[in-house]
A and B are shown apart, each in its own frame.
Chain A
Amino acid sequence: MEEVILPGILLTALIGIAYLTGRLADAAHERALKRDEALLPQQVLDSGSNIPGDITLYDSALVTGKVVIAEDRFRNLLARLRIFVGGRLSAHEASVTRAKREVLLRMRTNAKGASHIIGVRFESAQLRRGMIEMVVSGTALYTDHRPSGGAPAALPDEGVNISHRNLLVEFLSASTAFLLICWVIYAASGMMVEWASHEISVEDEIAIWSQLEPELINGHRTADERSLAENYLVDLINSVPKEALGPAAAYDFDVIIVPDETPNAAALPGGLMLVHSGMIDLVESENELLSILGHEIGHYNGRDHLEGLGREVVGVALSAMMFQADAVLTTWVAGWPKMLSDLDYSRSQELDADKWSLKILMAKYGHVGEVATTFEKLGQMQGGHSVMDYLATHPHPQDRVDRLYKMAREQNLPMGQPIELQEAFENFLVRTGEIPASALEEGRKFSLTTTKD
């Protein structure tokens, strides 16, 4: 959530400032144009090359006028939305018209003593994106015909060339259309991703992922070795009877503990689970921990992890396609699909995954005690900043607690005594020979989150 909200506010503020400065610059330019145009002598401008017959020509000269006008960021964004949706770029029409008035003004100022400027030609140059460049050239005729003062008769009338629409209204309509189109594309590709993720079997997924995994997990783990705590988590999963795991039993599960205080866990393709250290700090019994892991296994069974990944890929590809040249926007927009996919993940799929928690706890311990304890804790923590993530992307914890207990009641699943996590971990250490049994009798403590290699 934070990664979307904070840059979003920042970006909105920047665009807001750009809107204000851009409109101020527009208004200032408009005023300057009106003032300077009124001061110019009334020259005769001609886009053809006719030298008037009724004059005595003294001299002639090449005269030019050039200008480069930069767009503000707001107009740039508006143009981008408008180009995507299609139609008239009214924001640009105002500035290209002012650019032409400006070059005409400059050319005529350069030809101050001339009574005529003939052979007037406009050219546009392309210096870089987001800028409007205009060049005008002509031949100034210095004659006995003195141009009279005051505003010239044929000034480009801006009213003709601009669609009079408020830029904010324009922005609102363009972005609404844009969001609508995005939503349709996103929903359609989401359906395709959903279909595809169910078509990929667990075996195919493992085969594909084994080719990629070493590179992807490099950032998380320096060596190929797991820490003791990670070994314990993997051992805990493997101790569950295979038939209780469903299709996910085919995975060779691996767990990485991510040093992050947010209580969260995630299922990555190929049977790799990420558990935040904040989650391990939150749980107090092995049953609670297995309930969380079982939930993630449920995601594997629902193929939800592939769907989430697929949606994310589609979303990033879409945003890259639309905002290819805009690094800031792309990075920001790229945060959205992730959030959307997580949100989608939640409502139905999270609840389905919870069923697997029950099933796995039942198979391992013969009872479902503490299956919902973690959610109860999360519910009590609600409002705390660190759980923002978890709460926002999942159904309300209390709803899930109620649902889990209801399911347990309906299926007549017994509630038993939990195994304390610290104790379970220490037993694991002794059982695997990591520490001698005497170490525990001496009163040494082995914490799960600090036992890193």
Chain B
Amino acid sequence: MTPTKNTTAPMPAVTVSSIPGRETSENIGIVFGSSVRSRNFIFDIFAAFKNLFGGEVRSYTRLLEDAQSEATSRMLEQAKKLEADAVVDVHFATSQVAYKAAEIFAYGTAVRLK
């Protein structure tokens, strides 16, 4: 298997311990990516209103989606720098680093495949 470095194909990332159907040859180590984002005050005000009536806060869902995809792509970018073929055992975690701002971080094990 040729390294995915320099290729534009997305690197596979899975939440299980191996890429299904592929064997892992080498464990490179833990890689992670994080993203800290906020929505602006208008969305914050809408969200506060939403808090009165209940229901999905779409603007915050968008915020999480954006943050999650950025965190993931940063994690993959780091794996790419380490010349890994895939990232396995991916986990996501969130933290509230500041009021009304969300941090999402993704971490996993960068591996080379046989």
Segment touching B, from A82-90, A266-274, A387-395: A82-90
Q: Which of B7-32 contact A (CB under 8 A)?
A: 16-17, 27-32
Contact B35 A93 (CB under 8 A): yes
A156's closest neighbor in chain B, by CB? Answer: B32
- The segment out of A41-49, A208-216, A301-309 that lies at the interface is A41-49
Cβ < 8 Å to B, chain A residues 95-115 = 96-97, 100, 104
Of residues 24 to 72 in A, which have CB atoms within 8 Å of B's CB atoms? Answer: 44-50, 52
Rounded to whole angstroms, the CA-CA distance of A317 and B99 in the bound complex is 19
* Interface contact B36-A96, CB-CB below 8 Å: yes
Min CB distance B48 to A, Å, is 10
Within 8 A of B (CB), among A129-144: 129-130, 132-134
Q: CA–CA, A120 to B78, complex, Å?
A: 18
Structural contact, A92 and B103, CB atoms closer than 8 A: yes
Within 8 A of A (CB), among B86-103: 88-91, 93-101, 103
A152 contacts the other chain (CB 8 A): yes
Residue numbers in B under 8 Å from A85 (CB-CB): 40-41
Query: Is B34 in the interface zone, CB < 8 Å from A?
Result: yes
Instruction: Please name all residues of chain A whose beta carbon is closer than 8 Å to the beta carbon of B93 when the two chains form the complex.
Output: 122-124
A48 & B17 in contact (Cβ 8 Å cutoff) = yes
A46-B89, A154-B28, A161-B34 as given contacts; A89 in contact with B101, CB under 8 Å:
yes
Which residue of chain B lies nearest to A88 when distances are taken between CB atoms in the complex? B37
Q: Are A84 and B40 in contact (CB under 8 A)?
A: yes
Measured between alpha carbons, how far is A82 from B97 in the docked complex, in Å? Answer: 13
Residues of A within 8 A of B34 (CB): 93, 96-97, 100, 161
Known contacts A48-B17, A88-B36, A152 near B29 by CB under 8 Å? yes
Inter-chain contact B40/A154, CB cutoff 8 Å? no
- Do B99 and A47 have beta carbons less than 8 Å apart? no
Q: Judging by beta carbons under 8 Å apart, are B30 and A79 in contact?
A: no
Residue of B nearest to A86 (CB): B40
- Chain B interface: which size bin? 35 or more
Q: Please state if A154 and B89 are interface contacts (CB–CB under 8 Å).
A: no
A157 within 8 A of B: yes
The answer on a CB contact under 8 Å between B101 and A83 is: yes
Judged by a CB distance under 8 angstroms, whether A325 is at the interface is yes
Q: Are A89 and B98 closer than 8 Å at their CB atoms?
A: yes
Question: Which residue of chain B lies nearest to A124 when distances are taken between CB atoms in the complex?
Answer: B95
Whole-angstrom distance between the Cβ of B86 and the nearest chain A Cβ: 12
Q: Tell me if B82 is interfacial: C-beta within 8 Å of chain A.
A: yes
Tell me if A223 counts as interface (CB < 8 A to partner B): no
Chain B residues with Cβ below 8 Å from A76 are 98
Partner of A160 from B17, B38, B43, B77 at Cβ < 8 Å: B77
B interface, over-half SS: strand
Q: How far is the CA of A93 from the CA of B74 in the complex (A)?
A: 12
- At the interface, is chain A mostly helix, strand, loop or mixed? mixed
Q: B89 to chain A: which residues have CB within 8 Å?
A: 46-49
Instruction: Given A92-B36, A156-B32, answer yes or no on A181-B41 (Cβ-Cβ < 8 Å).
Output: yes
B95–A46 CB distance below 8 A: no
Whole-angstrom distance between the alpha carbons of A131 and B56 in the complex? 29
Within 8 Å CB of B74, what residues of A? 160-161
Residues of B with C-beta under 8 A to A157? 78, 81
B27–A44 CB distance below 8 A: yes
The answer to whether B78 touches A156 (Cβ under 8 A) is yes
- With a cutoff of 8 Å between Cβ atoms, the chain A residues found around residue B33 in the complex are 160-161
A123 — which chain B residues lie within 8 A by C-beta? 93
Of the residues B30, B39, B100, contact of A47 by C-beta under 8 Å: B30
Q: Are A47 and B28 in contact, with the CB atoms below 8 A?
A: no
The distance from the CB of A102 to the nearest CB of chain B, in whole angstroms, is 13
Chain B residue nearest to A93 (CB atoms) is B36
CB of B91 to closest CB in A, whole Å: 6
Report if B110 contacts A (CB, 8 A).
yes
- Shortest C-beta distance, B78 to chain A (Å), equals 5
- Known contacts A88-B37, A96-B95, A161-B33; A153 and B28 CB within 8 A of each other: yes
Chain A residues within an 8 Å CB radius of B107: 47, 120, 122
Indicate if the CB atoms of A46 and B98 lie closer than 8 Å: no
Query: Known contacts being A46-B89, A47-B91, A153-B82, is A322 close to B97, with CB within 8 Å?
Result: no
Within 8 Å by CB of B38, from A48, A86, A325, lies: A86
Which B residues between 54 and 99 are near A, CB-CB below 8 angstroms? 74, 77-78, 81-82, 88-91, 93-99
Contact A48 B81 (CB under 8 A): no
Task: Let me know if B98 and A129 touch, CB within 8 A.
Answer: yes
- CB neighbours (8 Å) of B39 from chain A are 86
What distance in Å separates the Cβ of A38 from its nearest Cβ neighbour in chain B? 15
* B30 lies within 8 A of A84 (CB): no
Q: Which residues of A contact B37 (CB under 8 A)?
A: 87-89
Complex: how many Å from CA A216 to CA B103? 46
- Pick 16 A–B contacts, CB within 8 A, sort by A: A44-B27, A45-B30, A47-B90, A48-B89, A52-B27, A79-B97, A83-B99, A86-B40, A89-B36, A89-B97, A89-B98, A100-B105, A120-B30, A122-B91, A154-B29, A155-B29
Q: What 7 A-B pairs come out closest when comparing CB atoms?
A: A154-B29, A86-B40, A124-B95, A48-B89, A48-B17, A83-B38, A47-B89
